[in-house]
Amino acid sequence: MNDSLPFWVAVAAGMIRCATPVLLATVGECITERSGVLNLGLEGTMLAGALSAVVVSYYTHSVVLAIAIAMLVGAIIGLLHACICIKFQANQVASGIAMTILLSGITAFFGADFVGKPIQSVVAIKLPFLCDIPLIGPILFNQDPLVYLCYLIVPLTYWLINHTRFGLSLRAVGEEPRAAAAAGIQVRRVRYISTMLGAALAALGGAYLSLVYAQGWIENITAGRGWVAVGLVVFAAWNPWRALIGAYLFGLAVSLQLRLQAAGCEVSPYLLGMLPYLLVISVMAGSSIIGRKKAESVPTALGVSYAEQA
Amino acid sequence: MYGRQVVKSIRATQRALISIAGSLVSILCGLIAVGLFLVVAGRDPIRIYSGIFTSAFGDGFALSETLVAATPVMFCALGVAVAARVGLMNIGVEGQLLAGAVGSTFIALTLPATMPPWVMLSLMAVTACVCGAIWSAIPALLKVRLNVNETIVSLLLNYVAVLVVEFLIHGPWQDPTTSSWPQTQAFPASAELLHLPGSRIHLGFFIAVVIGLVLSLVLTRTKVGFRANVIGQNPEAAKYAHYRVNRYLIIALLVSGAVAALAGFSQVSAIEGRLRSGLSPGYGYTGFLVAWLARQNPLAIIVTAVLLGGFLSGADSLQLSEKLPFATVNILQGAIFLFLLASETSLKNLAFKLQLRMATNAEPDGLALLPAAGASEVNS
C-alpha cells in the first residue's frame, strides 16, 4: 500500500489492520465467557457480520448503516446461541460448532451473488498532530476509523468488566451463578446480554474484514479467525488488555507473512500461511505453562449450563 | 433379581427409542426449517427435496453413490465417537482425514508402481493411520500435558492441514506433466482400492462398517471400553478408581485420528486416484454431526452416515440439474444439529419422567433402581 514506508513500519501498520477483526472478536468473547457462556460460533458470527455489511453497503452505500446492521445481525445470532445454551441447556461447544456450520452455509448461499461486487469501503483518516509523531504516527494514527474505535473498545471493555455494576454481575454470574442469583442478580438475563454483546463485537470484526480488509465479499472470508479469537481468549486469561497483546501477535504473523510474500520471499505462501495458526496454538500452550498457577482466572461456571431452581 | 433385569432392559430400550425419535424429529425439523428458508430464497423445497431423495436413494446407481459419499463420513464419525467416549471433542477429523490422504499419497508416489497391490495398499493404509494419529497427537499431548482445549487446537490444525495439502500439490508433489493443475500425478494401478464391479462402491465402505462393528464390541463388551465410558461420563470417579485417565485420553485421540485418516486414504486411493485440492467438502464436519445424531454409538453411526451421505450425494447431483448451491447441505446440517442440541435436555427429562412413572407403577423393586436425585421428587 505505502511503498515509501520502511519494511518494518509497513509490517507494523499492517499488523494493526490484520489484528483488528480478531481483536474485536476476542474482546467480545472475553465478555461472553466472563458470564460463563462459551460461544464457539464466533467463526460463523464473523462470516454473517461480514456478509451483511457487504450487502447493506452495496445497496445503501452507507458504511455506518452497514456496520450497524452487521452488529445487529451478530446480536441476533448471539441471542439464538444463548437461547439454545441457556433455555435448552444444550452443550455449548457443540452449539457453537453447529452455528458455524449453519452460518457458513447461509453466507455461502447468499454470498455467491455478491462476490466481486464493488462496495462502499472505509478510508483511512490521518489523525492531526498524532500522525506526525515519528515511527508511532504512521503505524498507529494513519488508520481507518474502525481501528481507532478498536483502540477505545479495549479500555472500555476492561472498565465495563472490572469497574461497573454490570461487570460485577457479569463476573458473579460466571463464577458462582447460584450465589449471584441469591444476591438478586438475574443470571439468565446477564448471560443473554453478554452473549449478544460478544456476538455483536464479533460481527463488527467480520464487517471490518469485508469492508476494510478485503473490500468485498469472498466465500469463507474469515479463514478461521473466529477460532483464532476463541483460542486467544484462553491466552488472554479473559482480560481485554491481554487480548490486545494476543491479537497484535496474530496480526504481526499475518502482516509479516503478507509483506514477505509481497517482497518476493522464496518460501511458499502456503507454508507462510500456516504461521498465524501455529502461532495461536503455541501461545495457547505457552500461556498454559506460564499461567498454570493462576488457574483461577478461568470463570468457574464456564460452559456449564445453569438450571435455575424453582 | 429377574425383575430387575427386565426393568433394566426395558429402560435401555426406552432410552434408545427416545434417542432415535429425538434424532429423527431433529432431522425432520431441520428439513422443515430449511424448506421454509428455501421458500424465502425463492426456491421450491418440495421439488428440491424430492430431487435429493431420488438422486440419493431412487435406484441402484443412486444408492451406490450414496454409499460412496457415506464412506468418508462414516470413518470421520467413528473417529469423533472414539474421542467422545472419553469426553473429548475431536472436531479435527477433517484435518486428520487430510493427513491420512497425504500419508497414502506419499507411499503411492514413492514406492515402485510394480509393487503387489496388497503390499502397496496396506502400506498406504498404515501410513495414513500413522499420519492421522500424529496429527491428532498434537491436541492430545497439549490437552494432557498442558490442559489446552482440544477442540480449538484440533480446529486450528484443520486449517494448517489444508495448507499442507496446498503446499504439496502446488510445490514438491505437483504433477510435472500438467503444471497448471494443483494436483499430484495419477496413482499407479496397484494403489487403487478394490471396487465392487460396475459401481464406485469400494472396499473402504466395508472397512468402515467392520471398524464400526469392532468399535461397538470393544466399547460395550470389554474392560477397556467400560473404563473409557467411565472416564467420559465421570472423570472424577475414574481418577478415584485409579484408572490411567491421561493414557486413555491420548490413546482415544490417537485411535480417533487414525480412523479418520482412513477416510483420506480411501478417498485418494479409490475415488480420486491422486491428491488434489478440495479433496473433502467437509466430510469431517458432516462426520461430527453424524456422531452426535447417533449419540456416539458406532452401530447407529453406520446407519446415520448412510442417511447423511445420501443428503451429500443428492445435493451434489442437484448442483447441476437444479443449480442448487452445495452450501444448502451445510445449512441443512447446521439446522439439524441445532434442533438436535435444543431437544437433548428435554429428551433426557422426558426419559427420566417415563422411567419414574414406570418405576412407581411397577413393583417396589423398581424404586431401588431410581437415581438419588429422583427420590425426593417421588416423595413430594
Chain B hits for A270, CB-CB cut-off 8 Å, are 163-164, 166-167, 170-171
B368 and B249 share one domain: no
Could you give the number of structural domains in chain B? 2
For the A8-124+143-297 domain, the top CATH level (class) is mainly alpha
**Burial category of B290 from C-beta neighbours within 10 Å (exposed 0-12, middle 13-18, buried 19 and up):** buried
Containing structural domain, residue B112: 70-323
B368 and B267 share one domain: no
pLDDT number for residue A296: 56
The Cα–Cα gap between B131 and B261 comes to: 7
Q: Strand, helix or coil at B323?
A: coil
Strands A125-126 and A142-143: antiparallel
Give A76 or A138, the one with higher predicted confidence: A76
> Out of A97, A277, A289, whose CB is closest to B160?
A277
Distances (CA, A) of B242 to B200, B229, B272: 48, 14, 47
Kindly state whether A290 is in contact with chain B, defined as any CB-CB distance less than 8 angstroms. Answer: no
Could you write out the DSSP letters of every residue in B37-103? HHHHTT--HHHHHHHHHHHHHSSHHHHHHHHHHHHHHHHHHHHHHHHHHTT---TTHHHHHHHHHHH
pLDDT number for residue A2: 47
pLDDT number for residue B153: 94
> Out of A105, A270, A288, whose CB is closest to B170?
A270
The Cα–Cα gap between B132 and B125 comes to: 10
B87 and B148 share one domain: yes
Split at pLDDT 50, 70, 90, the class of A293 is low
The Cα–Cα gap between B172 and A166 comes to: 56
Distance from CA of A74 to the nearest CA of B (A): 17
B259 and B314 share one domain: yes
Report CB contact under 8 Å: B170, A278: no
> Out of A101, A104, A271, whose CB is closest to B337?
A101
Which amino acid would we find at residue B78? L
pLDDT number for residue A32: 94
Angle, in degrees to the nearest 10, between helices B93-110 and B117-146 = 140
Number of Cα atoms under 13 Å in the Cβ half of residue A112: 11
The Cα–Cα gap between B93 and B100 comes to: 10
Q: Is residue B60 part of a domain?
A: no
**Burial category of A185 from C-beta neighbours within 10 Å (exposed 0-12, middle 13-18, buried 19 and up):** middle
Kindly state whether A278 is in contact with chain B, defined as any CB-CB distance less than 8 angstroms. Answer: yes
Q: Which of A99, A110, A254, A274 to mutate to test the interface with B (most CBs of B within 10 A)?
A: A274
B317 and B335 share one domain: no
- Report chain B (380 residues): mean pLDDT per 10 consecutive residues: 72 83 90 92 89 89 92 96 93 95 94 88 95 96 90 94 93 80 86 85 94 94 90 87 90 96 95 89 93 92 94 88 87 92 83 76 52 38
For chain A, give the number of residues.
Answer: 310
pLDDT number for residue A14: 85
B276 pairs with which residues across the strands?
B183
Pure H helices in chain A = 7-34, 42-60, 63-82, 92-111, 136-140, 145-163, 165-175, 177-182, 187-208, 225-236, 240-262, 269-290
Q: What is the dihedral of CA A236, A237, A242, A245, to 10 degrees?
A: -20
pLDDT number for residue B380: 31
The Cα–Cα gap between A225 and A202 comes to: 10
B298 and B342 share one domain: no
Q: Is residue B13 part of a domain?
A: yes
The Cα–Cα gap between B15 and B351 comes to: 6
Q: Is residue B53 part of a domain?
A: no
All three cell numbers of B234: 465421570
Neighbours of A235 (CB within 10 A): 25
Q: Which of B286, B338, B350 to mutate to test the interface with A (most CBs of A within 10 A)?
A: B338
pLDDT at A218 over 70: yes
Residue A251's closest CA among A43, A21, A47?
A21
Q: Is residue B100 part of a domain?
A: yes
Query: Could you say which of B305, B323, B341 is where a domain stops?
Result: B323
> Out of A93, A98, A273, whose CB is closest to B163?
A273
Report CB contact under 8 Å: A104, B327: yes
Give A305 or A18, the one with higher predicted confidence: A18
Kindly state whether A25 is in contact with chain B, defined as any CB-CB distance less than 8 angstroms. Answer: no
Instruction: Write the CB contacts of B246 (distance below 8 Å, at least 6 apart in sequence).
Output: B144
A 28-47 → B contacts, CB under 8 A? 40
Q: Is residue B20 part of a domain?
A: yes
CB pairs under 8 A between A and B: 136
Split at pLDDT 50, 70, 90, the class of A310 is very low
Distance from CA of B3 to the nearest CA of A (A): 34
pLDDT number for residue B42: 86
Distance from CA of A43 to the nearest CA of B (A): 11
B248 and B378 share one domain: no
Q: Would residue B187 be called left, alpha or beta, if left means φ above 0 and alpha means ψ between -120 and 50 degrees? A: beta
Give A1 or A77, the one with higher predicted confidence: A77
B100 and B225 share one domain: yes
Q: Would residue B113 be called left, alpha or beta, if left means φ above 0 and alpha means ψ between -120 and 50 degrees? A: alpha
pLDDT number for residue B375: 38
Number of Cα atoms under 13 Å in the Cβ half of residue B251: 10
The predicted model scores a pTM of 0.90
> Out of B152, B160, B171, whose CB is closest to A231?
B152
List b or e across B339-363, with b for residues whose CB sees 16 or more CB atoms inside 10 angstroms: bbbbbbbebeeebbeebbeebeeee
Instruction: Quote the ipTM score.
Output: 0.89
B215 and B340 share one domain: no
Kindly state whether A64 is in contact with chain B, defined as any CB-CB distance less than 8 angstroms. Answer: no
Q: Which of B341, B345, B347, B377 to mutate to test the interface with A (most CBs of A within 10 A)?
A: B341
Report CB contact under 8 Å: A227, B156: yes
The Cα–Cα gap between A186 and A173 comes to: 9
pLDDT at A26 over 50: yes
All three cell numbers of B376: 425426593
pLDDT at A305 over 80: no
Report CB contact under 8 Å: B289, A101: yes
Report CB contact under 8 Å: B170, A109: no
Chain B hits for A223, CB-CB cut-off 8 Å, are 159
> Out of A94, A112, A284, whose CB is closest to B148?
A284
Report CB contact under 8 Å: A97, B170: no
pLDDT number for residue B75: 96
